[in-house]
A and B are shown apart, each in its own frame.
Chain A
């Protein structure tokens, strides 16, 4: 069985400051991990994914995430928040061939001017 915990349901940052979204997972097997973003009334867009290659993964829009097996974490960061980053972010784990995805509860990001 697998599970994902996003440690913060809401994060508020000022424009131009760093963003940190925390994600911890549990999995019996080597997982694939993803971060998705959902803007209001929009579908889910992939930001980045980890699939057992480099542990530091770079994604779109300046986001990156680091896979830390010892801490079972996959935290998402961005050095400088932009107003357009205001959205909900989901950490997702998948194991085995095409198995169903397990979503975290989501983190809603508010960016203040």
Chain B
């Protein structure tokens, strides 16, 4: 199946806290898992991505954790800032190059 399930739908975090967004997939043919950040009125921007041969990838305050056996992956935003307030999409690609997106998480960081 070609679904990517994302949760929560919305998230409120205090400034300085950790924001965690979770995703699950079913198609074991997926082999690339990007996260996109989208601000209102803008296109999605590639934030960070991971391949299933590693369990974690960190870039600055953003970390992807990947559990291949559970078919789950998550985005952690450390020291969350008001500028991180946006909608975040997890996604997955397979060999057919179609990106399948989750439904998004609207993140709001309280100042």
A, B assembled together = no
Seen from chain A, the residues whose Cβ lies within 8 Å of a Cβ on chain B are: none
Seen from chain B, the residues whose Cβ lies within 8 Å of a Cβ on chain A are: none
